Every structure is written in structure tokens, then in C-alpha cells.
Structure 1
Amino acid sequence: MRVLKFGGTSVADAKHFLYVADIIEQKKRQEQVAVVLSAPAKITNHLVNMVEYTLNGINIESNINDAERIFIELLNGIAHVQPGFNDVALRNIVQKEFFKLKQLLYGIALLQYCPDRVHATIICLGEKLAIAFMEELLIARGCNVTVVNPVDKLLAQGGYLESTVNIPESTWRIRRSSIPNDHIILMAGFTAGNEKSELVVLGRNGSDYSAAVLAACLRANYCEIWTDVDGVYTCDPRKVPEAQLLKSISYQEAMELSYFGAKVLHPRTISPIAQFKIPCLIKNTNNPNGPGTLISHIEVDEANPVKGITHLNNMAMINVSGPGMQGMLGMAARIFASISRAGISVVLITQSSSEYSISFCISQSDVLNACKVLEEEFHLELKNGLLEPIDVIKDLAIISVIGDGMRTQRGLSAKLFSALASAKINIIAIAQGSSERSISVVVEDHMTTMGIRVAHNMLFNINQIIEVFIIGIGGVGQALIDQIHRQQKWLKNQNIEICICGLANSRVSLTNANGINLDNWRTELIQGKEKFHLESLVNLVQKNHLLNPVIVDCTNSLSIAKQYADFLANGFHIVTSNKKANTASMTYYQKIRMIAKKSRKKFLYDTNVGAGLPVIENLQNLLNAGDELIQFSGILSGSLSFIFGKLDEGMSLSEATIAARIHGYTEPDPRDDLSGKDVARKLLILAREVGYELELQDIHIESILPEDLNVTEKKVEDFLLKQLPTIDHIFDTKIRNAHKEGKVLRYIGEIRNNGCCKVTIKSLDKTHPLFSVKDGENALAFYTRYYQPIPLVLRGYGAGHNVTAAGIFADILRTVTWKTRDY
């Protein structure tokens, strides 16, 4: 025997209804089946609203018409496809049932009161008609059908609107019925009968429970719950697209997941099937060949100790505290007894170790009632100051991590708390079940989705996620985009998922939280209409709950650099080749680092000094290991390295500068390179990195251009072709003099151990580590306590779009700071 339950979306229209009939017939060929149906989607909502609106004097004509239309369209659709389907008889049944419904609602309107018994009769109409429709459809297909009336066969105890089935008695009643083995059994879900044979319902969404009860009564081999999702996921896939389908979970895990908010199963469904060890399979009506999720008595999966993350929204926490709590016996009993008498469900409980307070979570809709009963229970204690006024924190949510294997795994709580902390989510309370298969945290309600995403990414995702926003789409920016595009697949194989979610230049920006199509980004950017604004990026990140957003600044803009503090404060990492922030005032320099530390975000700028060379990272490693800089000497400009190398080969200064510009080594205006200010900025960054609190004006700069050469009023082309050649003879003389001594000219930056920094032209002999550096290379010689007399030398290309982009790319990858699944 196999019990099949189909939810409301599975019988929502004729197409789905026919799918369900196909599944039933296919399963019938394997073994006898019993089928439980919910009402078609939206019907129960309409019926509940009809009662509520009638009591409040609201017109319900549209609700009645909409509900009746759903059934008529269902009939018409099935009759159009299925020969022999008796839609005429069913149409009469629908008309009669809706006539009765209107009479009941008319009586409610007159009395301005709806007895629970009548309420129950109204809201189960959808299931009753769904069974009638399925019976006629299966008969039309030549099947033998027996309809079981749940009011007669399922004995329930409790109120008319929330009852629990007595399984032993119901088993006897069902087994007393003689049902041929070749018959399909049909039963309406959600419904049962009390001792007086009156109709009662099993609570909202109780059809799952009906199926579990029927499976228990029949001692079925399997219970299948057919719905509109593929099974149970690691968390809600609507909130976390990366959620993974679970192949199997235990009864206990399913119970915890459903209790803490998983929507696939009703919490009471698990108990009957667990009691008789009946496997339960969750399947998708729209994907019948999918594997689904099996709920059964399984061994602990050591490889996957965490099975799911679930949540409950719209919660409130009530705190009962005061000096009267300490040492007073029975306080907890009185608190929860009063809450129980009020019919309020307590979801989570936590108590301070000092016994000074007890806190518990309930639905926010129950807060007023809870406070009322507590104030009545503890009237004297509150009056005499033994208890403080009842404290309520609203707008909360509970996030729970669940799994049988958690009992034997260390560090899971630390991982969860670390993930929440990384997203700046405050944990208000913590609770762990005595079974140790769940850990729950209470957070602010509006942080739920972000909390679930970061926790899921920490505990389940193999891939680390980096969401990149690139500002500045010049040569370096374009090279970076191309590099990321080429490497995305390779990085995915290394468990790093990087996507570009934003591009911006001085005119327009383009954003897509799911990642921009890099095959066509140029066209899309041109067609963009929005300008770049920090506020729009912050809204995008918050709305889409991005996990690891990174601002990448490929500009030379001071206005962008001035926003770094705001970027960091709003949750972005920053990767930049722009030197303006690190060479601004010392006050701003320190502010950026303070905010980065406070917000736990990274500020990475290795390309500020050495383009693709890992200068800053290596220097920081030396300092962190206790090394100390004694002296520094370096060629810090790829363009000037190229120019001075060409001077060695016999080119004039003007010819070498033009050649450097053609190769793309210089700034758009080569005077920015020849002035020495760019080298000075790099030198200042290095000096500040080792602890010298200097400003840019503290760097002594020897410009390549003589002071009496007026270059400010000339166009670039005029400067290169007319003005720069006028000083070629000066450098010709310097080169000849250097060569006579066996030396070469190099433009270098120096830091002395007294903090003196200067940028200057120097003649170097063959013993100097910078002697052979040319052709666009950078070279940095660090003389330290550990590296002397032979210095640590970092050498490589220091100019070019691809080299700089590669350095930025390396910094972007450094924003991945933690590992997953390494229990």
C-alpha cells in the first residue's frame, strides 16, 4: 500500500488535475494506492475570507464568484480532454454545494456570529469537491474507486477547528471496511470526525497530517507528499537561490525543520509516520521524475552533519526578570503555565545562568495576550518590585541550523556565529535543543534573509562568492573585465564564484545583482541611463542580500577616493589602484583603516605601488614578522623605467617619452610622469606603511623637467614635439657623463631610516641592485634587519594595463577570507 497526498497547487487547474490522475494510475500499476487531496489552490483562502468578511460586514460576492469560477473552469478543462467525464453531474454538485455555502454565510451575516462547527464545514468544502472531481475522472479512465469518508473513519479529539486523530481507533474503523485490493482509495484531506460524528478539521494545512494518519492506519509501505517543489531544501530557495535539494533526512530532522518554519511539511505530519517507521517521500507534481527527498529512519550522515537552515519571522521575545527570580522555586512553571492557559505557543526559551531572567519567543500576534496573562499572574511581584516590568522586543526572527550529525561535530556554532558577525547581524539570543540537533539564534526580523544567506554560504556552499563593482572602465578596467571573464570557469573549478555586478564610468553605470553578461557588457553599458551613486549600490546590495560585495576603483579620481570610508562603512571591501586615498591627509589615511577594521572589511591596494608586484603584501608580512626597514631604494614608475632605459640605448628624452606613450606606459599626459609626483605618491604610501606619519609635501621631489620650463599652458602634443626636445641636450650630457664612469641614470625613490624621503635622479654602478632595471620594469630594494647587506628585491613589470589589472585581480581574490565545510 502506498499513500499519495497532493497539495493545492498540484490540483490547481485542469492541467495539473490530469497530471495527478496520470501519477495515480502509474503508481497503481505497482501496488494499491490511497490518495489524499487538498483543496485546489486559493480555494481555502477564499472560504476563510468569506467567513471573516461576512462577520465584518464586507461584501463577499467577488470571493464566492472567484471560488465557483475555479471549480467550473476545472470541470470544463477536464471535460474537454477526458472522454466519458461526467461533468454534468459534477456541475450540479458544485451548484448545490455553493447554494448551501451561501445559506450558511447568510445565517452568519444575520447572527453576526459563526460557530466553530459551521466554520469547519465551510472551510473544508474545497477538499470535498476535489475528491468528487477525482473520483469521476478516475472512473472515466476505467479505474475502480472507493471513497473513504474521513468524518466516519478518522476519529479526532479536540476543537472543531484544530483536532488530533486517534490513530488506534481510526485504524480499527478503516480496517473494518472491506476495500478490494484493486480499488484506488480516495479521501479528503484536512477533515475528520469527532465522537459525535460531527465534522472537524485538523488545522490549517492539515492535509499532510491526514495523509500521514491514513498511512499509519493502513500500515502503508510508503507515504508520498506531492507538492510544487522538488523536495526539502537546505533552506528556502526563494531566499537563497543556492539552496541544495536534500536526498534524505531523518524523522527527527524533518520534525525540527518543520517546527522552525520549513514550509514543505506540516509539523504534525512526522509523528504518525515516525511512530510506525513509514518512509515518506516529498515529490514535485511538475517534476515527477525528480528524486525528491526521503524522510525515514536513517543513520547519521557524518559527511553532512547540517541538513538545513530554517526560520520563523514575525516573532517577539518576552523577558521576565528581576531580583525575585533568584532562588524562587516555581517561577518558570508559573510563567509557562499562564502562557499555556492562554493558548499561546512558545517557540524558544533561554534563561540566564544567574537565574535573574527567563526569555522566550512567541508569535508577535500573541504579545498583547501574553503580557496580559503574565501581569495578572505576577501582579503582586510586579507591585512589590520583585519583578521588573515585562519587557517585550518585537520584530524578531529565529534562524535555526538543524542536523542529526551536529551532536558529534565541533565548531558548528562558531561557524554560524562567525557568518552572522561577518554580515554585521546582532544575535539577540541563542538556544540549543537538548537533542543537540539544532541551534537557534534570535535576530532582527529585517536581517533574516541576509542571515540565512551568510549561514548557508558558510555551512553548505562549496563556492566562495565575490560580487564585484568596477568603477573606471578605461584601459585597466577593460583589461580586468576581460581577465575575470576568461577566469570565471577556472575559478569555479577552484570553488570561487566571481561575478561582476556593476560597471561605472564618469557618465553612466550598469548593475545586475545576478551578474552582468560579460559577452556583451560594452553594448549594455553604452545603453545604460543611470549615473553612479553610492546610495544605489547600497540599495542593490541590501535588496539582493549580496554576500561579499567588492568596490574596485580603477580610476584616478579624488572624488571616488573620498568615498572610501563610506564604501567600507556600508559593507563593501575596497580594491584600488587609485593612489589618491592613501596619499591624502594622514587623518583620512587613518580614518579609512579604522573604519575597515570596525566594519571587518578589507582595504587592498597592492597596485598602488608596484602594479602587478605584491609589494604591499610582502612588506606587511615582513613587518608583521618583526622585521624593520632600515633603508629603501626603488624604481617605482614603469614609464620612467622605460624612458631611462631608452636613454641608455641612445634615444633622446623626447623620443623616449613619445615611445613610452605609444606603448601605453605613461599617463595620458606624460608630464604627470615626468614631474615625479606619481613616484612621490608611491614613496609616501611605502613610508606610511612602515609607520612614518608623513604628508605628500614632506617628500622631496627632483623633477625631470627643469623648474624654468613652463609646461602648464601647452597642449600634450605641443609639449612633446616642441617643448620637451628643448631639454634633450641636458639629458644627453648627463647620460654621457654617467657612461664615462660605467654608470647608468635611474629615477628612484629613497627612504632613509630617519624618515627622510626623496625622489631623485641618480647615477648607479653595476653593484647597485637597480642598475639593470629598465624596459618598464619596477624594482624595489628593501634593506631590513633581516635582509642586509643584500636587500630583498621585488622586480617585474610595473606598467601596462594587463599587469595592473592582474594585480587588482589578485587583490580581489584576497577578499575571500574563510573556508567552508572543513568540519
Structure 2
Amino acid sequence: MKVLKFGGTSVGSAKNINNVIDILNSYAEKDTIICVVSAVGGITDKLLLAGSLAKNKDAGFSKTFNTIKEIHLDIIKELIPFSNETILNVISDKLETLNSLLEGIYLINELSQKTSDKLTSYGELLSSYIIAEAMKSRGLSAELKNSQELIITNSNFTKADVDYKQTNKNIREYFKSTKQKITICPGFISHSKTGEQTTLGRGGSDFTAAIVAAALKVEQLEIWTDVSGMFTTNPKLVKQAYPIEKLSYQEAMELSHFGAKVLYPPTVQPVLDLNIPIHIKNTLDPESVGTIISNNHINSGIPVKGISNINNIALLTLQGSGMIGIPGFSKRLFETLSQEKINVILITQASSEHSICIGIDDKDADVAKSAIDTTFENEIALNKIDPIIVEAGLSIIALIGDNMKNHQGISGKMFSSLGKNNINIRAIAQGASEKNISAVILQNDVKKALNCLHEQFFEIKTKQLNVFITGVGNVGERLIEQIKQQKKYLKEQLKISLHVVGLSNSRTMVFDDDGLDLNTWKEQLQKGEKASLQGFLAQIKTLNLRNSIFVDVTANEEVAGLYPEYLRQSIGVVACNKIACSSNYENYKLLKRLSLKYNAPLLFETNVGAGLPIIDTLNNLIASGDKITSIQAVLSGSLNFVFNNFNNSTTFHEVVKQAQVEGYTEPDPRIDLSGVDVARKILILARESGLEMDLEAIENTSFLTKANLETKSVDDFYKSLISDEAHFQKLYASAQSKNCQLKYVAQLNNGKASVGLQEIPEGHPFYNLEGKDNIVMFYTQRYPEQPMIIKGAGAGADVTASGLFADIIRIGNK
């Protein structure tokens, strides 16, 4: 004999009920089956709504009733197309009695708990009758048995207590004599000893099934629902969640208590003592393995079995110096809550006895505060304790697993993972059994918390990065292409799952928290919403995804000004924009402090040398205890390209124009040619070396004419280059006469920095620097005579994009 229970979704439509019938028919070939069914999905809520409307003298209750009526009649017509008059009459009578009850509630303007039980019982009474008749119409050996004739309770309406002695006797006697292969029983409903209709409370249909299973000592209780078992966490919030094959009773109860809706904790109790396994299966996918709950499951050695959460929590804090060493405060606190029938979900107390925190349902917070403040009115008046502090909008997240007590560092991993993602913990609770570690966090952080914890404990081999890119021009487009090309490699070799979640240009922006399709990102961006720097930031904050990285591929000062806001949200920043790190020194230090405080990486390798590992190498030298004594560098790939291609047979104007067209200069080439860009780069290296320096301290000897420097637009600048061609030819001729090459050099010596055009003699490391290459020579205490040299392409979309990509990967590898 087997007991199967089907939930509201499983019987929520004619199609699903047909699935249920097929499952029962296949089981009945081998066993005698007892099938407990819930109300049709959503009907209990509609019954309560209709009752509430009627009680409040809202005639709209009749509209809700008609909806209930139509749902059931439509299911009958689809399940039993040629249903006989008797079936329709029975259903019509039940519906008419329900309508009369609602009209009575409307007339007397009252809905007691006793009447509420009568009202809600119609959901199961209707669904069980329809399913039984549908099975009979197909010639199956099925019969309906009203659970109200079997399950006897007290008169505690809406959540009645079961009289197990009488109930077990009724169940055993009935099923001892029954002949049919399949018995359909409505869940949730029962009768009191005095003959009044009662219900078993939330999860009552599961409870009914467990009561029957325990009474008959069946081999297994099966609970069929719309998911394939109990998941590692909420699959609606964590897409990587997966079903847990085996759980202990205690693990299942903990997960259920902390929000796993598949199972209701009291369900477990009747079968727990008898060690009857519970098998949770999916009506829509009968072949799926599901979850088996028992005390006989094989210990897999996995410390954490699941992560669950409860939303809508309020945290109440009772504190004051007058509590220390005085017995009785906790007793009075919990007695007060008990008198108000307020359930306490979580408790934590400081060892100093200065405070005690409790977590309760948000909806009870006002009543609880008022009652507690009244109880401790005298102590509050004497300033021995503070008025109760209430924090709403919170949630509890919990790690659960029988085996956690045998593994060190679980708590550390949990809190470290939350901290890295800027998730503040308001309270912590852990039982002595170590089967549950709970933390109270902001409800807005639940999705991010569940994802980062799931990644930590169930996807340890793969880390998901959520990337947001502002600026999708030349460099940004190449970066996206590189990410697309390397996604598979990153996942397989580096165990990084990289999702580009948001993109923005100056006109539009687009987001997809599952990751944008990088094959069609241009089309998606074109159809996106109007772009806004603040709007982009706001959307990233709203999505609140773990391991978020903001990538700035602009030269925009406003974008750079938002870095502090990103860092304060623990969102990593990767930038090729040099403005932030070459801004005033206080802002530079602020960014560094925020990065450390909020554990948000701030990487800007491409600020100097595009994709060359210049800043990374410098940081490694400093971190290893070396000290920079001097830096000599050619740091402008654009200027190097210009002077390598300029000669007496070309014009300076033509070469600069070519450099801009090929993407080696900024959109405004004056930034490059004025030396400001190089000055920013040597400033950044000076700061990373440990020097306190601002841009004004760098000596910038310009090779441009006064007319070039005073132009008001890019067009005027190009015109001035044509006018001053003789000046540039003179610079070239001077270098040629000495057999030298023109190079724009940045230097840092003895705490002083300068940039300017120099004539480099043959034999110098800079002399043969070709194309757009950069070169940096680090003289340090360890490299006093022969410098450490880094050389390579220092400009261009591909190498700049690869530098940004490398910074993103560096964050992923942390």
C-alpha cells in the first residue's frame, strides 16, 4: 500500500489532473493506492478572498464566487466531456451551498474561524470529487472517501489538533475493509469530536497524507508537486539550483522551516518516529528522481545540503545596561510575545547580556513593539533599558546540513562570501547541533546572498562574474568580441562563468540579468532604453548581482566621478579611463580606501601602456619590498606612432590624422599631442610607486606651438598643424642631423616627474622603438643599473581591450 499526495498545482488544470490519473493508474497495477489531493491551485486563496469581501459588505464576493464556479465547471467539461447529469448536479449543489455560505457571511457581516474552516473546506471537497469521478468515468477502480470521516480533531479552528488515537483507529478500520485499488481523499479537512468541520492549517494536505501513512505504516509517503524535489536553494532566484536526491528528516524540516515551500514541517512529524521515507516527486516530470527524505540516506559527506530563506522579517532588539546580571528579562519578553500569539523565528543574545534580538514576522512588528514597551514601561522610564528597536524589511538566510558539524570553516566561508558582496549581516544564530547557521540580512540582498552562497558551497569550481560595460565604441566592441570568443575557455580552464549583463553607449542602455546574447548585442542595445549615467548605476544596484564588475571604456569625466558610488556598493571597477586615477590626490586616495573598505577591486592596468603589464609589475615590485628609484618611459603609443611615421616627405598633419583614423589617439588628438595624456600616465605610476603627487607638479614641455595649444576645436587644431608645418619639420631636421630619433619621454627621478619630446641617440633602448610601441624602464633598489624593461604595443583597440579583459579575469581569479 502506498500513500500519494498531489498538491494544488498538480491538480490545477484538466491537463495536470490527467497526468495525476496516469500516475495513479500506473501505480495501481502493483499496489493499493491512497491518493490525497489538495484544492485546485489558487482556489483556497480565492475562497478566503470571497469570504473577506463578503465580511466587509463588498458585493464583489459574488464575482470571485463565479470565478471559482467557472474554474471547476471548465475542468469537469474537459476531464469528463460527456459527464452525466448526476456529476453536474452534485457539483452544482456543492457550489450552491458555498454561495449560500458566502451570502450568509455577507448578511451577518462576520467571518469567524469556525465559518472560515467551512468555507475553505470546499476547495478540497470539490477537487477530490471531480478527480474521483474522472477516474471512474475511465473504468478505473477508484472511490472517494471524505477525510472528515477519518481525521478527528479538537475545535481549534483553522489549525486543529489531531486526536491520533481515534483518527488512527478510523483509518485502519476503513482501509482494512476497502476493496478498490485507488482511494481518493481530500486533504486539509477534518471533523472535530463534536462533529464540526475543522481544517489542519497551512500545509494541511501534506499533513493529511502523513497522518494516513503513519496510521497504516506504509513503506513510503510520496508527495507530488510541481518541482522535482527539494532544491539546494530557491530555483526562482538561483538558476543554478538543483534537486537534492537525499535528505534526513531533520534537514528537510530545517529547509522547510526556512522557506522551502515544497514541504511543510508538521508533515514530517507523523512519519518521523516510524522512519517512513517521504519521496517528493514532480507531477509534470514523473521520471525525475526527486528527493527522498529518511534517516537511512547515505551520508555523502557534503557538509551543506541546502540554503533557504524567510522573507518579511522584523528584528526586535531589547537592550540596556539595566539588563546585565538581572534574571527574568528574557522570560518577560517571551511571555509578552506569547500572550500576543506572536511566533519567534530567530533568537540571538550577546554574551554581555546587554541586548537580545528576536526575529518575527513583519506583520506582527507593531503589535510586538507596543506590547513589549508596555511590559518594560517602568525600566524604560528609569533608563535601565531602551525602548524596543524595530528593524523591518529583513530576511533570514540559513545554511542547513547534518554534516556541517564535522567540517571546519563553514561559518567563515559563509560570512566571507557575504562580506565580499557587500551584504551586511544584522544578526547571527547557530544552534549547538550545528545543523543550521542563520543570518539576518536586508530583504533586498536575498537574491544576491543566495546566489553567492550557492556558488560558494555548490558551484565551488565555477565563479560567475556579472559585467556591466559603459562605452562600446572601438575598444568596447573589441572587448565584447574577446569575451564572446573566450567564454568557453574561461569556463572550462579558469572556472569563470562571465556574463555581460549591461551595456551602454551615449544614447541607449540595455540589461539582462541572465546575460546578454553577445551575438546580437548591437541590435539589443539599439532597442534599449534611453541611456543615463545615474540610470545605469541605479539599474546595477537594483539587480544587486554577486561579483558585479563595472567596466569604464570611456574618457568621460562624469563616468569617472561615479567610481566611488560603484565601490561603495562593492561593485568592482575596471577602467581604461585615466581621469579618476590622475585626478586630485585626495580623490585617488579615496578610491583606494573605498576599494579596500568595501572589498571592491579597482583595476586600471590599461591607464598606462594599454595591455602591457606595467602597473601590475610595478605593484608586484612594491608589494615584494622593492623601492622605485627612477622611471624612464615612452608611454604614448599614439605619439610614438606619429614620430615613427613623420619625416621630411610627409606632413605632420597627415600623420596625426592617420593616427586618429587608426584609433591610436583619443577622439580629440590634442589630449595626446599636448602631453597631458602622458603626464597622467607618469602621474599614475608615481602614485602607485608611493609618491603623493598631483598633475600640476609634473613638468610638461610641449613641442606644440602656441597657436596649436590655443585652438578651440579639433578642426581648428588640424588647421593649425598645417599652418605650423615648418615648426615640425624643424624638429625632425634637428634630430636627423644628430642621428637621433624623436621620442616623447616621461621621467620620474628623485620624486620629480616630467614629460617632453627628446632626441634619443642611437644605442639607447628607446631608439628603435617602433610603431605604436611603449617601453618602460624601472630602476629600483634591486635593479639599480640594468633596469627592468617592459616593452610592447601601447595603443590600439585590440590591446587595450585585452588589458581590460585581463583585469576582469584578474578579479575572477581572486
With normalisation by structure 2, the TM-score equals 0.92
Deviation at 1:181, TM superposition (A): 6.2
Contact 2:739 2:762 in 1 (8 A): no
Superposition map of 1:11-22 within 5 A? 11-22=11-22
Q: Assess, with a 3 A threshold, how the Cα gap between structure 1 residues 295 and 689 changes in structure 2: closer, same or farther.
A: same
Q: Assess, with a 3 A threshold, how the Cα gap between structure 1 residues 32 and 655 changes in structure 2: closer, same or farther.
A: same
Q: Which amino acid aligns with 1:55?
A: K
Deviation at 1:781, TM superposition (A): 0.7
Matches of 1:669 and 1:144, distance apart in 2: 84
Equivalent position SS for 1:119 = helix
Deviation at 1:255, TM superposition (A): 0.3
Contact 1:652 1:731 in 2 (8 A): no
Q: Are residue 90 (structure 1) and residue 87 (structure 2) matched?
A: yes
For 1:54, the equivalent position in structure 2 comes to 54
Contact 1:538 1:570 in 2 (8 A): no
Match of 1:789 among 766, 781, 785: 785
Q: Please tell me the root mean square deviation across aligned C-alpha atoms, in Å.
A: 2.9
Matches of 2:281 and 2:507, distance apart in 1: 51
Contact 2:651 2:725 in 1 (8 A): no
Range with greater deviation from structure 2 (427-436 or 492-501): 492-501
For 2:3, the equivalent position in structure 1 comes to 3
Deviation at 1:262, TM superposition (A): 1.4
Q: Assess, with a 3 A threshold, how the Cα gap between structure 1 residues 365 and 505 changes in structure 2: closer, same or farther.
A: closer
Contact 2:143 2:183 in 1 (8 A): yes
Q: Assess, with a 3 A threshold, how the Cα gap between structure 1 residues 470 and 725 changes in structure 2: closer, same or farther.
A: farther
Equivalent position SS for 1:631 = strand
Match of 1:156 among 148, 153, 156: 153
Match of 1:145 among 142, 145, 156: 142
For 1:407, the equivalent position in structure 2 comes to 405
Match of 1:175 among 136, 161, 172: 172
Q: Which amino acid aligns with 1:396?
A: L
For 2:303, the equivalent position in structure 1 comes to 305
Q: Assess, with a 3 A threshold, how the Cα gap between structure 1 residues 574 and 383 changes in structure 2: closer, same or farther.
A: closer
Q: Are residue 65 (structure 1) and residue 66 (structure 2) matched?
A: yes
Contact 1:304 1:405 in 2 (8 A): yes
Equivalent position SS for 1:393 = strand
Matches of 1:596 and 1:224, distance apart in 2: 52
Matches of 1:13 and 1:667, distance apart in 2: 62
Q: Assess, with a 3 A threshold, how the Cα gap between structure 1 residues 383 and 715 changes in structure 2: closer, same or farther.
A: closer
Match of 1:249 among 237, 247, 261: 247
For 2:806, the equivalent position in structure 1 comes to 810
Range with greater deviation from structure 2 (349-358 or 715-724): 715-724
> How many residue pairs are counted as aligned between the two chains?
808
Deviation at 1:169, TM superposition (A): 4.1
For 1:265, the equivalent position in structure 2 comes to 263
Superposition map of 1:111-510 within 5 A? 111-157=108-154, 159-177=156-174, 178-180=176-178, 183-299=181-297, 301=299, 303-323=301-321, 325-371=323-369, 374=372, 387-462=385-460, 463-493=462-492, 494-510=494-510
Range with greater deviation from structure 2 (339-348 or 246-255): 339-348
Matches of 1:465 and 1:560, distance apart in 2: 25
Contact 1:165 1:213 in 2 (8 A): no
Q: Which amino acid aligns with 1:759?
A: G
Q: Which amino acid aligns with 2:40?
A: P
Q: Which amino acid aligns with 1:634?
A: A
Q: Assess, with a 3 A threshold, how the Cα gap between structure 1 residues 724 and 86 changes in structure 2: closer, same or farther.
A: same
Give unmatched runs, 5+ long, in structure 2. none
Deviation at 1:444, TM superposition (A): 3.0
Matches of 1:229 and 1:172, distance apart in 2: 34
Q: Which amino acid aligns with 1:12?
A: G
With normalisation by structure 1, the TM-score equals 0.91
Q: Which amino acid aligns with 1:176?
A: E
Contact 2:760 2:766 in 1 (8 A): no
Deviation at 1:42, TM superposition (A): 2.1
Q: Which amino acid aligns with 1:23?
A: I
Query: 1:402-461, CA deviations, whole angstroms, 9 ceiling, x for partnerless residues?
Result: 111211222222222223323333322111122211111122334333333333333333
Q: Assess, with a 3 A threshold, how the Cα gap between structure 1 residues 381 and 557 changes in structure 2: closer, same or farther.
A: closer
Contact 1:653 1:725 in 2 (8 A): no
Q: Assess, with a 3 A threshold, how the Cα gap between structure 1 residues 375 and 567 changes in structure 2: closer, same or farther.
A: closer
Contact 2:554 2:577 in 1 (8 A): yes
Matches of 1:96 and 1:352, distance apart in 2: 60
Equivalent position SS for 2:530 = coil
Contact 1:453 1:545 in 2 (8 A): no
Equivalent position SS for 2:57 = coil
Q: Are residue 554 (structure 1) and residue 550 (structure 2) matched?
A: no
Q: Assess, with a 3 A threshold, how the Cα gap between structure 1 residues 260 and 508 changes in structure 2: closer, same or farther.
A: closer
Q: Assess, with a 3 A threshold, how the Cα gap between structure 1 residues 485 and 151 changes in structure 2: closer, same or farther.
A: same
Contact 2:203 2:267 in 1 (8 A): no
Contact 2:153 2:161 in 1 (8 A): yes
Matches of 1:208 and 1:751, distance apart in 2: 75
Deviation at 1:52, TM superposition (A): 2.5
Query: 1:158-177, CA deviations, whole angstroms, 9 ceiling, x for partnerless residues?
Result: 61321233445433322223
Q: Assess, with a 3 A threshold, how the Cα gap between structure 1 residues 489 and 751 changes in structure 2: closer, same or farther.
A: same
Deviation at 1:476, TM superposition (A): 1.2
Range with greater deviation from structure 2 (700-709 or 493-502): 700-709
Q: Which amino acid aligns with 2:346?
A: L
Query: 1:299-345, CA deviations, whole angstroms, 9 ceiling, x for partnerless residues?
Result: 57555311222222222233344455344444433433443344322
For 1:592, the equivalent position in structure 2 comes to 591
Range with greater deviation from structure 2 (713-722 or 343-352): 713-722
Query: 1:89-131, CA deviations, whole angstroms, 9 ceiling, x for partnerless residues?
Result: 2211122112322333344444444454333222111111212
Matches of 1:733 and 1:372, distance apart in 2: 88
For 1:78, the equivalent position in structure 2 comes to 79
Query: 1:565-621, CA deviations, whole angstroms, 9 ceiling, x for partnerless residues?
Result: 333335432211122222222233233333333433222111111111111111112
Deviation at 1:288, TM superposition (A): 1.9
For 2:688, the equivalent position in structure 1 comes to 689
Query: 1:195-227, CA deviations, whole angstroms, 9 ceiling, x for partnerless residues?
Result: 334332100231011111111112222211111
